[in-house]
Homo-oligomer: A and B are copies of this chain.
Amino acid sequence: MTAETKVRARRKAFRPDEILDAALEEFTRHGYAGTRLDDVAARAGVTKGTIYVYFPSKELLFHAVIRKFQHPLLNDVHQFIDISKSSAIEFLRAFLRFIYEDMQTSRERREVLRLMIAEAERFPGLAEDYHREVIAPALETLREVIRQGIERGEIRRSAALEFPEIVIAPAALMHLWLLVFSNRLPMDADRYMEAHLDLLLHGLAQPEA
Contacts and interface: CB of A to CB of B under 8 A. Distances in A.
Contacts of A182: 120-121
A149 B204 CA distance: 10
Contacts of A28: 121
A5 to B, nearest CB: 19
A43 to B, nearest CB: 16
Given A30-B122, A153-B206, A207-B156, A173 B180 contact: no
Give the dominant DSSP class at A's interface. helix
A9 interface: no
A131 B185 contact: yes
Interface string A151-186: 001111011101101110110110011011110110
Contact of A191 (B159, B181, B202): B159
Nearest to A205: B201
A34 B116 CA distance: 15
5 contacts: A31-B32, A120-B181, A163-B195, A169-B173, A202-B203
Interface of A: 28-34, 89, 92, 114, 116-122, 124, 127-128, 130-131, 146, 149, 153-156, 158-160, 162-163, 165-167, 169-170, 172-173, 176-177, 179-182, 184-185, 191-192, 194-196, 198-207
Given A117-B118, A120-B179, A169-B172, 14 more contacts: A29-B121, A32-B34, A158-B195, A163-B192, A163-B195, A163-B196, A166-B192, A167-B199, A167-B204, A169-B169, A173-B173, A200-B203, A202-B203, A202-B205
Q: Which 9 A-B pairs have the closest CB atoms?
A: A203-B203, A118-B118, A159-B195, A33-B34, A33-B33, A169-B169, A169-B170, A202-B203, A169-B173
